[in-house]
Amino acid sequence: MVAITWTSNLSLLLQGLSVALVASLTSAAVEFKHHNNTELAEVLQRIHNRCPDITRLYTLSETSVNGIPLYVLEITDNPGKHELMEPEMKFIANMHGNEVLGRELLLHLADYLCEEYIGGNQEIRKLVDSTRIHVLPSMNPDGWKIATDSGPGKDFLIGRSNANNVDLNRDFPDLDKIIYSPGNEFNNHLMDLVDHLDHRVQPETESVMKLIMEHPFVVSANLHGGDLVANYPFDESRNVMNPTEYSVSPDDETFRFIAQTYSTNHPRMADPQAKGCDRPESSFGKQGGITNGAAWYSVAGGMQDFNYLSSNDFEITLELGCDKYPPASQIKFEWDDNKQSLLEFIWLSHAGLKGLVIDGQTGHGIPNANIHVRNITRVGKYERRSTDIDHDIRSVHNGDYWRLLTPGEYEITVEAPGYAPQSKLVEVDRHVHEEAPILNFELFPLPATPDYLPYDVSPLMDESDMANMNYNYMEEAPRMDYF
């Protein structure tokens, strides 16, 4: 049916003209080539100029050793601020200066999000409006220049480190040491336990540590090259005697899901027929394109484990191909192969559940509430698992929280000093391209009893409580539909 009046036709026509005019003046149109450090900044600036309402270009606190700013492009509906319950995610590439593909892919990703947003792609609009995305295409611009000047791809190592010859992916505080130490009882935000660092970190590392601490990231990826696999925590071996032993994290199921989301949306990463980079007969495709970090090789002081152990962020490491410095002619092909994986990865920030922790008397949000999860998924007709996930996350600024989880049934317990703890049962289902369902908690202050010891609380629920509960909460709580 055609029922458009001439006035709306005219306004549509005028809109179209002005869009075309703006496009011809400012189109970012990122070329398929290797951009040097100056060109990289120019591309980000052009994307920002083209999409000023949904982007913000900022630099990290420090420059590289040689004084090059570390540029981040933020892409979201209200750039520059954290919005209540809107998840934040990040991509960081080119931490190893000679691993250059991620750097170009992130420029193309930023350009794509901008162009599709203004072009009216509803899926992309939904994604950008509901997510705060941060993109750092080069964490190590000095290494990139060293690698490029030496003749790209000539050597497997030149340009890997920064200008002080430090491997930035070994430069982060080694929090695995704390988590692996006998008797340790802490399972999150471990930087709270560190009063001084055992070495002076590089400026690039310091900048990213501050970024991690300043933003409530939910999920992130660190883009590398040299193999084709999505690598998940833990990266550091528990056992020096057995350095390639699988080092399982409390969120192993969720991390495997995150890694598989990338690998299975990539046409080659999860292909069991693909040839391996080191030996043709042993590709990671045979194991779905994913690997536990430690089971591959141990990394101490890496960025991936640091994110998980110092913040709420779940980070994985992406190895994007055998060739660390592919020829420019390959970049278009690689963008086509990685585009869907990158987009689906952003959507992962909406997996699991989210909500608010508020004071039931004042209605104010409670930051730093501890959110603990027990997996109680049915394993048979009458049986349930009862596995504590020994990695708590914390509510942030205004009491908002996000908890990535795979489909199943869970007991979520929220505790904050001075308040009575609260537990809810919830079912998490698979759902695609939707915001996480909301599960809020209202906490009430504990009565002031003189002999009350805030940390001497009895277990919230034991097995007999569970049996008597009848899962009333299951009806009260929203049904969890996601992934």
Instruction: Provide the binding-site residues for Zn ion, judged by CB under 5 A.
Output: 96, 99, 224
Residue 250 or 301: the one with the smaller Cβ distance to Zn ion is 301
- Least distance (Å) from Zn ion to the CB of residue 228? 13
A 10 A CB-CB count for 200 gives 10
- Least distance (Å) from Zn ion to the CB of residue 300? 15
Residue 55 or 263: the one with the smaller Cβ distance to Zn ion is 263
- Least distance (Å) from Zn ion to the CB of residue 453? 48
- Least distance (Å) from Zn ion to the CB of residue 221? 13
Q: Identify the sign of the CA torsion 181, 182, 183, 187.
A: positive
- Least distance (Å) from Zn ion to the CB of residue 223? 9
Q: Which of 319, 334, 427, 435 is catalytic?
A: 319
CA gap 119, 123 in Å, rounded: 11
Closest CA to 93 of 207, 205, 221, 209: 221
341, 316 contact by CB (below 8 A): no
Beta bridge partners of 314: 219
234 upstream amide cis, omega within 30 of 0: yes
- Least distance (Å) from Zn ion to the CB of residue 151? 19
- Give the CB-nearest residue to Zn ion: 224
371, 401 contact by CB (below 8 A): yes
- Least distance (Å) from Zn ion to the CB of residue 180? 23
- Least distance (Å) from Zn ion to the CB of residue 224? 3
CA gap 433, 453 in Å, rounded: 44
Residue 166 or 414: the one with the smaller Cβ distance to Zn ion is 166
Residue 93 or 369: the one with the smaller Cβ distance to Zn ion is 93
301, 171 contact by CB (below 8 A): yes
Q: What letter represents residue 204's amino acid?
A: E
Residue 86 or 99: the one with the smaller Cβ distance to Zn ion is 99
Residue 194 tokens read as 């560190």
**319 in catalytic set:** yes
Residue 96 or 215: the one with the smaller Cβ distance to Zn ion is 96
Residue 48 or 224: the one with the smaller Cβ distance to Zn ion is 224
- Cβ-Cβ contacts under 8 Å for 378 (sequence gap 6 or more): 384, 385, 409
Residue 96 or 354: the one with the smaller Cβ distance to Zn ion is 96
Residue 143 or 250: the one with the smaller Cβ distance to Zn ion is 143
- Least distance (Å) from Zn ion to the CB of residue 315? 14
Phi-psi region of 203 (alpha: psi -120 to 50; beta: other; left: phi over 0): alpha
Annotated catalytic sites, by residue? 319
